[in-house]
Amino acid sequence: MRQTFAVSMARRGMEKKAGFDLEIDDDPRQQQREWVMQRIGWAVLTGLLIAVTFGLFGRGGPLSEVKLPSQRGEFLLEYDRFLRYHSPDMMRVSFTAGAQHTRLKIDSEYASHVQFERITPAPEREINEDGAVTYVFNTQPGAGTVVTFHFSPQKYWRLKGWLAVEDTPALHFSQFVYP
């Protein structure tokens, strides 16, 4: 019977090829396109993973963390360059107090686009004057002081501002807020 089947197949021109008997359409151009798209996808995913690792899309990482000293070294501002809209973040200002009361000024335009949730240590007073929000802190003369602002951005895209301690020149900074 087996021999009869092989003979009938041979008569019809449907000889069995060795090894491959599946009837699958083969389109090498489509397969090549799929391989190219797959490699592009892997490259994009790898790029995103590297960007996240280095802090391009938010907190932490060498691309995001900034330590910016003032012109004459009176204070140091530490902040993240990239933020998320309505996501909690913080900014630190380190300085050596020159008097019992130290005034820290922040650009009022910047302050209007963030919501300060708390300031550590708590300021003694808050004064709005000359395009700035001034915070007055009780400090020990000659002692190192670190003020931490905990806030949430309330505006998308670019936030620009400045900060000054006492009568030092203003230190300008900018942050990018992702939606």
Tell me what pLDDT residue 110 has. Answer: 92
Q: Please tell me the predicted confidence (pLDDT) of residue 71.
A: 80
Q: What phi and psi, each to the nearest 5 degrees, are found at residue 140?
A: -95, 125
Q: How far apart are CA 60 and CA 57, in angstroms?
A: 9
pLDDT tens digit string along 121-146? 989 989 888 888 999 998 888 888 89
Q: What is the pTM of this model?
A: 0.68
Q: In what order do the strands lie in the sheet with 171-178?
A: 82-84, 171-178, 157-165, 101-107, 132-138, 125-129
Distance from C-alpha of 85 to C-alpha of 1, rounded to nearest angstrom: 77
Given the candidates 3.90.550.10, 1.20.140.10, 3.10.580.10, 2.60.40.3670, the CATH classification of the domain at 65-178 is 2.60.40.3670
The kind and range of the H/E element at 151 are strand 144-153
The pLDDT value recorded for residue 174 is 92
The residue written with tokens 């021109």 in the block is: 13
C-alpha span between 13 and 9 (Å, rounded): 6
| ∠ Cα 133 110 65 (to 5°) | 115
The domains of the chain are located at 29-57, 65-178
> What kind and span of H or E run contains 92?
strand 89-96
Measured at the CA of 152, the angle between CA 113 and CA 65, to 5 degrees, comes to: 100
The list of the chain residues with pLDDT below 50 reads none
CB atoms within 10 A of CB 96: 16
